[in-house]
Amino acid sequence: MCVYPPPMLRDLSEDDIKSLINSDTTPIREIQKFPCHTQAVQRCNKLVTEASNKVCGHEARDGYIRATLKSRSVMSNFSKKSDFNPKNDSLKRCPTPKRIDAILLQQYSF
């Protein structure tokens, strides 16, 4: 198993890292917050693996990933547990066939 340094420390030597740890001042370089070992990174890893299994080539993989992310951004997002509640108004946006029949009967009943 290969072990790679974190992206933030990749360009620093061991002496540079030790001096940053021992110093009380802010490092010269602006340290960016990279997502690392989080759910977001795991989701990205899963997406890249899925894209690699479905398409061949760098451009095709990039297009597949971009299309998937675009599709996810368009889809409705449930942020709270109450969003999943069938009694909620979310069913009015995406009605079931029975609900469609009931709506049609109400609208067109004489």
C-beta separation of 61 from 50 below 8 A: no
Q: How far apart are CA 110 and CA 14, in angstroms?
A: 82
Query: Which residues, 6+ apart, have CB-to-CB distance to 6 below 8 Å?
Result: 34, 36
* Coil vs helix vs strand at 103: helix
Residue 39 lies in a domain: yes
pLDDT tens digits, 6-33 = 767 778 888 988 887 787 776 655 555 5
Question: Per the domain annotation, does 52 fall within a domain?
Answer: yes
For residues 31-46, b (16+ Cβ closer than 10 Å) or e, as one string?
Answer: eeeeeeeeeeeeeeee
The pLDDT of residue 16 is: 84
Within a domain: 48: yes
Q: Is residue 9 part of a domain?
A: no
In a domain, 67, yes or no: yes
Instruction: Give domain status of residue 54, yes or no.
Output: yes
Question: What integer pLDDT is reported at residue 90 of this predicted model?
Answer: 47
Say what the pLDDT of residue 10 is: 76
Q: Looking at the 3D structure of the chain, how many domains does it have?
A: 1
Q: What is the predicted pLDDT for the residue at 71?
A: 84
Range of the domain at 66: 35-71
Q: What is the pLDDT of residue 91?
A: 47
pTM greater than 0.75? no
Is 43 contained in some domain?
yes
What Rg value do the Cα atoms of the chain yield, rounded? 25
Q: Decide if 38 contacts 31 (C-beta within 8 A).
A: no
Extract the residue ranges of the chain whose pLDDT is less than 70: 1-2, 7, 26-37, 76-78, 83-110
Does residue 56 form part of some domain? yes
For residue 51, what pLDDT is reported? 92
3-state helix, strand, coil in the chain (%, to 5): 60, 0, 40
